[in-house]
Amino acid sequence: MKHTEGLEWAIHSCSLLAMVPTDFPLPARLLAEFYDLPEPYLAKQMQKLSVAGIVETRRGPQGGYALARQATEITLLQIVEAIDGAERHFVCTEIRRCGPTGVEDRFYTRPCGIARSMWRAEAAWRKELAAVKLSDIQKLGEDETPAEQAAKAIAWFQGKLQKG
Amino acid sequence: MKHTEGLEWAIHSCSLLAMVPTDFPLPARLLAEFYDLPEPYLAKQMQKLSVAGIVETRRGPQGGYALARQATEITLLQIVEAIDGAERHFVCTEIRRCGPTGVEDRFYTRPCGIARSMWRAEAAWRKELAAVKLSDIQKLGEDETPAEQAAKAIAWFQGKLQKG
DNA sequence: GGGCATTTACTCGGATATGATGTGTCCGAGTCACGGGGG
DNA sequence: CCCCCGTGACTCGGACACATCATATCCGAGTAAATGCCC
């Protein structure tokens, strides 16, 4: 029970994409270099975000990734589910039906109480994540780091793109 | 991001242990046979519960596992953390400090906003699980299955133990 | 000089190895119950 | 007949293979820009 490490990278990358204009795509190569991450694996995470419709891709020179919609329209839950999957964490294999006390399937109309309890907790978790928008993440980031950091980051990307 | 399968077995086993008197230990062999599960692996889960202090063990003939305290004093969260671990699901490696915009460590006094958001969701999840007691699970189980099921299960265990 | 076809370089996307963790299994340590012998 | 000791069977506990998934990587498909050529 642990989130994949790529999830952290994906969220940070989305936060970076939210800083730059939508028509200013960032290639995976630069994102990886910015955070000092293995580039091909980060690209795989971005690919998942692309499949989920969170980011748009643009191929060829001056291409890269850009947010598919405004940062206010992207929730943390959407990013997490894009990377780690949207299926339930707790799977109920209905083992209560096995064993000497199991009865016919038609008697089990509702999921078992254990699964319901686990799923209720998951619902609370999802609700919290769905309440956080990417724009909120960005605002938190601005509060905790010097203000000129964002401008410095954008300048770094622009310099890298023009030089190449 | 998925719970281990052994978690389901552990919760169901605890629910079974809550049905029988505390001085009526159930061996892992019978628990596995009851649910038709691989016995050694279920034993590993029970071992984790034992380390966590949720169940007591009794060796030798007529031995087995029994709840270490009343079902009203055991929460679902305790069981889940005993099996899947109590550490946080989302780990923050502080990649914000890397890259060209990173500054000295002393400027980062608080965890980054991404980690805080993820952890807040986890806290909501834990809160829900902590609110569910093993006795609640048991009551849910009684509501959804015929009343005589519990008695049948206990009779099955008693028969198995006397026969052996 | 302007427009167009070609080339080129750069990007993403899926197929492919490797390592860690969950899954499944086995054998030894410990303990209680039973049975036999002695008092 | 009762008590004690030795034996045995049954239990848990930790050490040991295997499978699956996350991690890390590579090469081909696609595209926009730049270039050179023709008009």
**pLDDT of A40-98, one tens digit each?**
999 999 999 999 999 999 999 999 999 999 999 999 999 999 999 999 999 999 998 87
Q: CB of A56 within 8 A of CB of A66?
A: yes
Confidence band, pLDDT 50/70/90 cuts, at residue B163: low
CATH number, domain with residue B27: 1.10.10.10
Range of the domain at A140: 5-163
Task: Indicate yes or no: strand D within 7 A of the C-beta of B100.
Answer: no
Per the structure, the count of domains in chain A is 1
Mean pLDDT over the full length of chain A: 92
- Site from B109, B112, B122 to mutate, A interface, most A CB atoms within 10 angstroms: B112
Confidence band, pLDDT 50/70/90 cuts, at residue B118: very high
CA distance B47 to B56: 10
Say what the pLDDT of residue B99 is: 79
Q: Which of residues 103-162 of A touch B (CB under 8 A)?
A: 103, 107-110, 112-114, 116-118, 120-122, 124-129, 132, 136-137, 139-141, 143-146, 149, 152-153, 156
Within 8 A of A129 by CB-CB distance, chain B residues are 117-118, 121
Considering CB atoms only, which of B113, B128, B156 is closest to A141? B113
Mean pLDDT of B138-149: 82
Task: Indicate yes or no: strand D within 7 A of the C-beta of B47.
Answer: yes
Task: Indicate yes or no: strand D within 7 A of the C-beta of B28.
Answer: yes
pLDDT at B164 exceeding the cut of 60: no
Say what the pLDDT of residue B162 is: 77
Cβ pair B156:A100 closer than 8 A = yes
Confidence band, pLDDT 50/70/90 cuts, at residue A127: very high
Within 8 A of B122 by CB-CB distance, chain A residues are 125
pLDDT at A164 exceeding the cut of 60: no
- Per-residue pLDDT of B32-91, as tens digits, reads 999 999 999 999 999 999 999 999 999 998 899 999 999 999 999 999 999 999 999 999
pLDDT at A126 exceeding the cut of 80: yes
pLDDT at B3 exceeding the cut of 90: yes
pTM (global) more than 0.85: yes
Confidence band, pLDDT 50/70/90 cuts, at residue B101: confident
Say what the pLDDT of residue B89 is: 97
Q: Show the CA angle centred on residue A17, arms to residues A80 and A22, nearest 5°.
A: 120
